[in-house]
Amino acid sequence: MLEGATMQPVDDQAPIERDVVHLARVAMAGRSQDVQTLVQRMARRYQQTNAALAASLRDLLRSSPGQESPMRGFGNPAPIPLDGDSRLPLIRADQLGPAVPPVLAPHIKAQIEQLRDEHRSAERLAQSGLSPSRTGLFTGPPGVGKTLAARWLADELKCPLLVLDLSSVMSSYLGRTGSNIRQVLDYAKSSPSVLLLDELDTVAKRRDDASEVGELKRLVTVLLQEIDDWPSTSLLLAATNHGDLLDPAVWRRFDVVVEFPLPGPTELEEALLHYCGNEAPDSLGFLVKVLAGASFADAERLVMTARRRAALSDERLFDVLLRLGQDRLRHLNQGERLQIAIDLMQDGDLSQRRASELTGVSRDTIRRRQRESQEQ
């Protein structure tokens, strides 16, 4: 025995030996992304029984050259994976400018910020034998901020956002689709990144769905295995507009599930102010009511259409927004339209006649409501 060496108990030594053999096997196979994952797991595993070893492993992870190279174009030497049929890229990188913080309800914002904070403080978590959340599932209707939240997270973590549209990787040969997904996930795991699997329900449907062929059901199993093996150095996010279609096993695989609802009045008003920019009217109350039940995407589309039309016609943005909102007003009940008419007269400085024309509520009805309000 070497001088100064200490004999370790067999029950402690055996796990270390198994880990070393496993690590050597993976390293000799050239799977660098899996080596890093194994080292992370070992650092967590031995935090309590061998603190010195755990600290040494964390030091190695911090000094790893891959930590500073998020992807090709950012330092990743690996070729971008291509589809075997079309030879087109299977993945796209979002390299737009700084991301604008998405407008979210407070409880949704808190969940997104915790994901960010966990990855920013991975070393602090490691000291307690913990790791950041590796995976997150974003569900909700279209246009509610799922992709914007993913982009903001990537920007905050100083990582590229890699987007895989699962509907686009479905090969005519389903067996090749599994290979495509593995290629993309291996590429994303090779260095720190935020990977967004868009339209997850395209692939990860319920395996008890009788309409799906056996090969597609096996594809779900492949995806689940890949999610299980995802390293904590990167963040895997998945988005779906149809959470009810997902296989139940998929839900259990994600560390965090964030359900994005349609925006409420407060979130809509904040978003509208952002979309209108310096041209924002003094009051957007009428538009918030007109857009009740709409998504952020619907609101942005309406405002941008109004801004373009106002720029071409030299009209006030407020006047154009009134006209564009008129069609939506017609779908509201009379009580809601009456209240909007009153608000337009008070906050928008509109005449009684103009408020009546826009809302379809008679002037007599508006006058009667005004008298009732004054009497109260």
Per-residue model confidence as pLDDT tens digits over 318-349: 889 988 888 777 778 888 888 888 877 876 66
Enclosing domain of residue 217: 92-259
Q: 117 or 229: which carries more pLDDT confidence?
A: 117
Amino acid sitting at position 106: P
307 and 159 in a single domain? The answer is no
Q: Are residues 137 and 251 in the same domain?
A: yes
- 169 shares its domain with 145: yes
Name 170's Cβ contacts closer than 8 Å, sequence gap at least 6: 177, 202, 203
One domain, residues 116 and 245: yes
Residue at 318 is within a domain: yes
Q: Tell me what pLDDT residue 215 has.
A: 63
Greater confidence, 53 or 135? 135
pLDDT above 70 for 84: no
pLDDT bin (cut points 50, 70, 90) of residue 2 is: very low
Q: Is the pLDDT of residue 313 over 90?
A: yes
* pLDDT score recorded for residue 296: 94
308: its two tokens: 């373009």
Stronger pLDDT, 30 or 308, i.e. the higher one: 308
Q: What is the model's pLDDT at position 135?
A: 95
Sign of the CA dihedral running 188, 180, 202, 246: negative
Are residues 243 and 102 located together in one domain of the fold? yes
Element of type H or E holding 136: strand 135-139
21/162 same-domain check: no
Residue 74 lies in a domain: no
> Is the pTM of the predicted complex or chain greater than 0.85?
no
- Is 162 found in the same domain as 225? yes
Distance from chain centroid for Cα 52: 37
Task: Specify whether 194 is located in the same domain as 296.
Answer: no
User: Mean pLDDT over residues 24-46, rounded?
Assistant: 70
Query: Do 124 and 46 have their domain in common?
Result: no
User: Band of the pLDDT at 14, cuts 50, 70, 90?
Assistant: low
Residues 327 and 288 reside in one and the same domain: yes
Q: Looking at the domain assignment, is residue 7 inside a domain?
A: no
Instruction: State the Rg of the chain over Cα.
Output: 27
Burial call 241-268: b when 16+ CB within 10 Å, e when fewer: bebeebbeebeebbbbebebebbeeebb
Last residue of a domain, which of 218, 242, 259? 259
161-165 and 194-198 strand pairing:
parallel
Number of folded domains that form the chain: 3
Please give the order of strands across the beta sheet that includes 135-139.
Answer: 92-94, 161-165, 194-198, 235-240, 135-139, 256-259
Give φ, ψ of 104 to 5 degrees.
-135, 155
pLDDT at 140: 95
Residue 87 lies in a domain: no
Confidence of residue 213 (pLDDT cuts 50, 70, 90): low
Instruction: Output the pLDDT for position 141.
Output: 95
The chain-wide mean pLDDT, for the chain, equals 80
Write down which residue in 230, 259, 288 finishes a domain: 259
